[in-house]
């Protein structure tokens, strides 16, 4: 009990509490801006903590780290662009809710779920202190492999209406994750001679591209997000709160999941988000279809992602092994404070460990309360005309990607994955499965090699692997049967889309390329990509057989010419978004941030105005341009430590 | 707090001005990035972050130093990046495992760059490299270690965790198996603690003292000169009887004399290199830096950049037969 008393005394110091508030505010701001996340926040704040005592330092850092996943819901719900990688699943149902003018309800549910999740994570951390080391020591390399594989398989099967497409998307993501210098034998894989790709495809940009840009492309067809002009009902937020309380079982399930998976190194936020979404998706509970605004699709992921922070502190404290990228930098702060993670954190430094729990809990309470207070004004953003929202959001999405390496290649990756994400969404290829394959690919490769080297083929007999095979098999059979039933119930098979044929052809070509390209590489670098490519080729062949031979379409291949023309026009309109993205980035490189932002925002508003039914007024356009410039300069020019390229025009 | 906040505001202001009206050397205007070749939480990370906290103060323009962990292949990935793609204007410096320099001659197919082309700023330690076993391990002596059926854990094939274990096995006839693919020393330690592996080599004495949790025990050391602190620990080098093997082993462990080296990419202007070297020398002589290092349990035995470059030059230009034998021993 003494340790708790010391911890509480340390936490309630006025300066410590002030730092907690500062951390929470910074975390909320970072969460709102797409492209910025915990890593950015930690890198920003860690240098400030060098001269602080341990309590104040961790108050600032954990205050920030704990609430990013609370406020990243705001852009996810309002414009369909996740604020951080911790909100990619929230978009699925949060954004449709905003479109139905229920943004306030989505926020009410999300924040309350975040709060409960965060508190639950802190509780798990508190309870696990005495057992965290022995428990973590029980897990061996094959178990980590099983967990990674299971996460991937679960989401691949659950993500889309067609199981095979899910598996293909997941394997495609795994293949993409192999880009870069491989850890086993240090050779460059699929870098095409560019040094940029040596570090691998930057995960933050890949996710912004996959989920952020397509949302904006979709938005470009609408006049405003909600498409309605009805006023916000203040009571909607309470409806959301009640939704969360009604779904208390789901909240607890997803919170436990978040904190447990958070404790496993290599399992990132996207995995937790999608697995939680999958859990929520098992039962519609009388609400609308998932993807069309079912509130459970918001509550599940939101309660899981905030619970993660507590969970990922476990391996950090117990072994000095960061459970997430944010924790990696937090570990640096441990060193600065002279704290050595390990048994000492459970004995001599126990008060510090307890204070971490208190910070996570307090930050969640504070973060959720602040966000709830802001819900109603924020929800009104959904009513703003899309002519304003698109350029403003594009500025932040582009700069968020651009700050990663301050290189034009960042934009190429963003736009490339934006277009890929768009076509995946159009063709019912689940992006969730792809993104998970991308995150888990390297972990699966590493844990596979470690398991194989350490125990040989015996890793197959590990109970966790056996359980995975059994559960996975049962799950796959059930899912396939359900899909077949649904297919039979449907009338004649519809026309197959040309895009599916193109996708199948491209995927096959990519697989053959991977097999040929890795042929001459050392064993360690070759085995996994080759295996993945062969597996992918088999699944693609199965899909081709299923689509084009077994279910030979009775309808003609293409739909009528008018519909095709309409679709083409629509696609052209959407493609303006990636084009704008490239133009804006070029403008930044040419003229610098301060000049580029207002010119870009005003030009896009002006050009879109010509197409819009209700044009934006001049005053509104100028206000939007000026405030975006000030805000983006404040964040990306003033706070950020990335050296930006010199504007070409002035030098 | 106030000082660092002011410091940060000042440097942010500088960075913003730089954004608007850029002029002068890039590294003096904004932040310098110190890339560390390992994941956070290990010994290299601890030393890198210590340097990041102090070095900026001894450079013209007092730039902020931002740490970035670029882990992979026992820091070979970062070395390759530094040799190839990083800006040679002083805005990026790196802390790598000194063993990557030896890898350029022993494993040129992997480390395909010239270690002499880097501009070495200085090195932090001249420290023995330990082989450790879990406290509960029955292994008590070098003989028992060589006879035991163990698994040794390592990060990449050119990392000290791999090379030092391979050398021990090949030069002294060990039976243990080598496993690669862990992500940093912290993960190797954890695998040892959960009983998956039984040995870790390439654990520098500095890191062991800073991060050792009392759960691991050293069995022997690789070093050219045994320091006072580890006098009682067997020196593996002294146990090698074959003269040619000993010479080759000396090449393999030669990098221990300049562990935790800091470097600038090839082609960096000489004035920038000189400024960094002067800054490094001033930093390691600064009592505040030494006190901070002591506070973080990091032992220092620094060498200036010129000396590091000299050692590397002599190491990589030895006789071809020695290189060939060293390559065999390090496999």
Six-digit token string for B104: 């350029």
Name, of A141-145, A262-266, B297-301, the range with top average pLDDT. A141-145
Residue A645 located in a structural domain: no
Closest residue in A to B84 (Cα) is: A195
Nearest chain A residue to B156, by CA: A184
Give contacts of A47 with chain B, Cβ < 8 Å.
Answer: 4, 8, 64, 66
- Is pLDDT of A350 > 90? no
With contacts defined as CB-CB under 8 Å, which chain B residues touch A52?
Answer: 1
Query: Smallest Cα–Cα separation from A182: which of A531, A530, A524?
Result: A524
Residues of B with Cβ-Cβ distance to A406 under 8 angstroms: none
Q: Which of A47, A184, A321 sits opposite B8 (nearest CB)?
A: A47
Dist. CA A217–CA A230, nearest whole Å: 24
Query: Is A183 near chain B, with CB under 8 Å?
Result: yes
Helices A38-49, A54-71: crossing angle, 10 deg rounding: 160
| A50 neighbourhood in chain B, CB within 8 Å | 4, 53
**Percentage of chain A modeled with pLDDT above 90:** 23
Measured in angstroms, the CA of B273 and the nearest CA of chain A are apart by 20
A531 in any annotated domain: no
Mean pLDDT (whole number) for A163-167: 86
For A80-119, how does the pLDDT look when each residue is reduced to its tens digit (9 = 90+)? 888 888 888 898 899 899 888 888 899 999 999 999 998 9
Domains of chain B: 2-127+257-329 (3.40.190.150), 129-254 (3.40.190.10)
Q: Write down the mean pLDDT value for chain A.
A: 83
Residues from chain B contacting residue A48 (CB–CB below 8 Å): 1, 4-5, 8
CA distances from B38 to A60, A321, A460 (A): 26, 13, 31
A chain contacts of residue B193, beta-carbon cutoff 8 Å: 137, 319
Would you state the pLDDT for residue B15? 44
Domain span at A404: 2-492
Chain B contact probe: residue of A45, A60, A183, A445 with most B CBs at under 10 A: A183
Range from A168-172, A430-434, A552-556, B186-190 that averages highest in pLDDT: A168-172
**A38 belongs to a structural domain:** yes
pLDDT per position as a tens digit, A289-348? 888 889 999 999 999 988 888 888 888 888 777 766 677 677 767 766 767 777 778 777
CA distance A272 to A249: 17
- Identify which of A137, A328, A637 has the shortest CB distance to residue B41: A328
A459-514 confidence digits (pLDDT tens): 888 888 888 888 888 877 887 787 777 777 765 555 556 788 899 999 999 999 99
Q: Is A256 a member of any domain?
A: yes
Query: According to the model, what pLDDT value does residue A229 have?
Result: 45
- The mean-pLDDT minimum among A471-480, A510-519, B161-170 falls in A471-480
Q: Closest chain B residue to A196 measured between Cα atoms?
A: B85
pLDDT tens digits, A230-257: 445 667 788 888 999 999 999 999 999 8
Q: Are B308 and B314 in contact (CB under 8 A)?
A: no
Q: Does A231 fall in a domain?
A: yes
Q: Which residues of B touch A329 (CB under 8 A)?
A: 40
What pLDDT band is residue B72 in, cutting at 50, 70 and 90?
A: low
**pLDDT for B263-296, tens place per residue?**
999 989 999 999 999 999 999 999 999 998 887 7
Q: Which candidate from B13, B179, B183 shows the least CB-CB separation from A454? A: B179
Q: How far apart are CA B278 and CA B58, in angstroms?
A: 8
Q: Which residues of A touch B46 (CB under 8 A)?
A: 335
Q: Which of A531-540, B97-106, B249-258 has the highest mean pLDDT?
A: A531-540
Q: What are phi and psi of A303, to 5 degrees?
A: -75, -30
More confident residue, A467 or A224: A467
Is the CB of A319 less than 8 angstroms away from the CB of B190?
Answer: yes
Q: What is the pLDDT of residue B27?
A: 45
Give the number of domains in chain A. 1
Q: Is A186 on the interface with B (CB under 8 A)?
A: yes
Query: Out of B26, B67, B72, whose CB is closest to A643?
Result: B26
pLDDT of residue A612: 63
So what's the pLDDT on residue B187?
A: 83
Q: Which of A44, A191, A335 to mutate to test the interface with B (most CBs of B within 10 A)?
A: A335
**Residue B120 pLDDT greater than 60, yes or no:** yes
* B314: nearest Cα among B243, B226, B250, B223: B250
The interface pTM score, or ipTM, of the predicted complex is: 0.73
Q: If you measure CA to CA, which chain A residue comes closest to B40?
A: A328
Q: Is residue A347 in some structural domain?
A: yes
Instruction: Give the number of A-B residue pairs with CB atoms closer than 8 Å.
Output: 171
**pLDDT over 90 percentage in chain B:** 36
Contacts of B110 in chain A (CB under 8 A): 185-187
B232-236 contacts: CB < 8 A, separation 24 or more?
B233/B128, B233/B130, B234/B141, B234/B142, B236/B131, B236/B142, B236/B167, B236/B168, B236/B171, B236/B172
A50 found inside a domain: yes
Average pLDDT on B64-78 reads 77
Does the beta-carbon distance from B18 to A446 stay under 8 Å? no
Question: Which pLDDT belongs to residue B241?
Answer: 92
pLDDT value of position B63: 86
From chain A residues 508-527, the ones with a CB under 8 A of any chain B CB are 524
- Which residue from A minimizes the CA distance to B49? A332
If one compares A642 and B65, the residue with the highest pLDDT of the two is B65
Give the chain B residue nearest A320 (alpha carbons): B41
pLDDT score, position B30:
62
Cβ of A137 and B72 within 8 Å?
Answer: no
DSSP B116: G
What confidence category does residue A17 fall into, taking pLDDT thresholds of 50, 70 and 90?
very high
In a domain, A32, yes or no: yes
């Amino acid at each position: 009990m003494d340790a708790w008393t010391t911890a509480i005394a340390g936490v309630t110091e006025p300066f410590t509490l002030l730092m907690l508030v500062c951390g929470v505010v910074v975390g909320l701001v970072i969460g709102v801006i797409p492209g910025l996340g915990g890593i950015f926040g930690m890198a920003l704040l860690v240098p400030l903590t060098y001269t602080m005592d341990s309590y104040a330092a961790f108050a600032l850092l954990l205050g920030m780290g704990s609430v990013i996943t609370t406020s990243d819901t705001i852009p996810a719900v309002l414009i369909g662009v996740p604020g951080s990688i911790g909100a990619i699943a929230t978009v699925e149902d949060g954004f449709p809710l905003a479109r139905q003018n229920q943004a306030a309800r989505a926020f009410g549910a999300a924040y309350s779920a975040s709060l409960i999740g965060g508190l639950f994570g802190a509780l798990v951390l508190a309870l696990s202190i005495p057992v965290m080391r022995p428990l973590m020591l029980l897990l061996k390399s094959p178990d980590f492999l099983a967990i990674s594989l299971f996460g991937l398989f679960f989401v691949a099967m659950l993500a889309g209406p067609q199981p095979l497409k899910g598996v293909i998307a997941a394997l495609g993501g795994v293949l993409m994750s192999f880009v870069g210098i491989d850890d086993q034998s240090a050779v460059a894989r699929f870098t095409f001679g560019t040094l940029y790709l040596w570090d691998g495809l930057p995960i933050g940009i890949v996710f912004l591209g996959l989920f952020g840009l397509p949302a904006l492309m979709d938005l470009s067809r609408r006049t405003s997000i909600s498409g309605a002009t009805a006023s916000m009902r203040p009571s909607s937020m309470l409806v959301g709160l009640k939704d969360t309380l009604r779904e208390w079982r789901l909240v607890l399930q997803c919170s436990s999941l978040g904190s447990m998976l958070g404790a496993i190194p290599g399992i990132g936020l996207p995995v937790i988000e999608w697995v939680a979404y999958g859990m929520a998706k098992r039962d519609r509970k009388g609400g609308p279809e998932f993807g069309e605004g079912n509130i459970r699709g918001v509550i599940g992921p939101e309660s899981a992602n905030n619970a993660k922070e507590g969970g990922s502190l476990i391996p950090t404290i117990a072994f000095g092994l960061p459970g997430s990228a944010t924790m990696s930098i937090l570990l640096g702060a441990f060193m600065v404070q002279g704290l050595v993670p390990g048994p000492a954190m459970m004995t001599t430094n126990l008060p510090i460990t307890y204070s971490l729990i208190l910070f996570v809990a307090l930050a969640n309470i504070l973060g959720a309360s602040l966000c709830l207070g802001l819900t109603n004004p924020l929800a009104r953003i959904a009513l703003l005309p899309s002519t304003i929202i698109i350029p403003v959001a594009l500025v932040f999405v582009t700069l968020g990607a651009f700050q990663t390496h301050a290189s034009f290649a960042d934009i190429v990756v963003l736009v490339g994955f934006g277009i890929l994400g768009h076509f995946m969404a159009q063709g019912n290829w689940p992006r969730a499965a792809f993104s998970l394959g991308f995150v888990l690919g390297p972990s699966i490769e590493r844990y596979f090699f470690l398991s194989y080297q350490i125990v040989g083929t015996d890793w197959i007999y590990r109970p966790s692997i056996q359980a995975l095979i059994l559960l996975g098999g049962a799950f796959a059979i059930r899912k396939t049967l359900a899909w077949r039933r649904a297919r039979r119930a449907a009338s004649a098979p519809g026309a197959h889309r040309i895009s599916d044929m193109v996708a199948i052809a491209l995927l096959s070509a990519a697989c053959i390329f991977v097999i040929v390209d890795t042929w001459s590489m050392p064993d360690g670098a070759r085995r996994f990509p080759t295996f993945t490519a062969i597996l992918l080729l088999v699944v693609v062949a199965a899909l081709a057989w299923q689509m084009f031979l077994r279910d030979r379409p009775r309808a003609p291949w293409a739909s009528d010419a008018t519909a095709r023309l309409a679709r083409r026009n629509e696609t052209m309109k959407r493609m303006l978004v990636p084009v704008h993205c490239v133009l804006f980035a070029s403008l930044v490189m040419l003229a610098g941030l301060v000049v580029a932002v207002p010119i870009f925002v005003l030009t896009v508003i002006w050009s879109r105005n010509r197409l819009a039914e209700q044009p934006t007024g001049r005053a509104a356009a100028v206000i939007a341009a000026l405030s975006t410039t000030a805000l983006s300069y404040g964040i990306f020019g003033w706070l950020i430590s990335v050296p930006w390229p010199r504007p070409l025009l002035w030098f | 707090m106030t000082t660092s906040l002011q410091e940060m505001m000042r440097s942010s202001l500088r960075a913003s001005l730089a954004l608007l009206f850029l002029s002068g050397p890039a590294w003096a205007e904004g932040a310098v990035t110190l890339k560390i070749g390992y994941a956070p939480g290990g010994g290299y990370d601890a030393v890198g972050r210590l340097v990041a906290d102090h070095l900026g103060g001894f450079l013209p323009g007092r730039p902020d130093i931002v740490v970035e962990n670029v882990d992979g292949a026992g820091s070979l990935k970062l070395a390759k990046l530094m040799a190839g793609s990083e800006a040679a204007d002083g805005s990026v410096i790196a802390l790598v495992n000194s063993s990557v320099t030896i890898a350029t001659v022993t494993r040129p197919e992997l480390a395909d760059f010239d270690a002499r082309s880097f501009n070495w700023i200085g090195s932090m330690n001249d420290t023995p490299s330990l082989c450790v076993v879990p406290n509960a391990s029955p292994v008590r002596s070098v003989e028992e270690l060589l006879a035991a059926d163990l698994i040794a854990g390592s990060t990449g094939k050119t990392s000290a965790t791999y090379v030092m274990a391979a050398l021990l096995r090949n030069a002294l006839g060990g039976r243990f198996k080598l496993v690669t693919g862990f992500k940093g020393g912290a993960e190797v330690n954890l695998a040892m603690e959960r009983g998956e592996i039984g040995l870790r080599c390439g654990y520098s004495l500095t890191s062991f003292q800073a991060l050792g949790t009392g759960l691991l025990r050293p069995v022997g050391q690789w070093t050219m000169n045994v320091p006072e602190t580890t006098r009682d620990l067997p020196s593996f080098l002294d146990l090698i009887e074959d003269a040619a093997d000993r010479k080759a082993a000396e090449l393999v462990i030669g990098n221990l004399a300049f562990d935790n080296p800091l470097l600038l990419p090839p082609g960096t202007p000489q004035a920038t290199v000189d400024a960094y070297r002067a800054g490094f020398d001033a930093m390691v002589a600064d009592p505040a830096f030494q006190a901070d290092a002591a506070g973080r349990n990091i032992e220092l035995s620094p060498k200036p950049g010129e000396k590091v470059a000299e050692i590397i030059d002599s190491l990589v230009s030895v006789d071809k037969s020695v290189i060939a034998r060293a390559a065999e021993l390090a496999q």
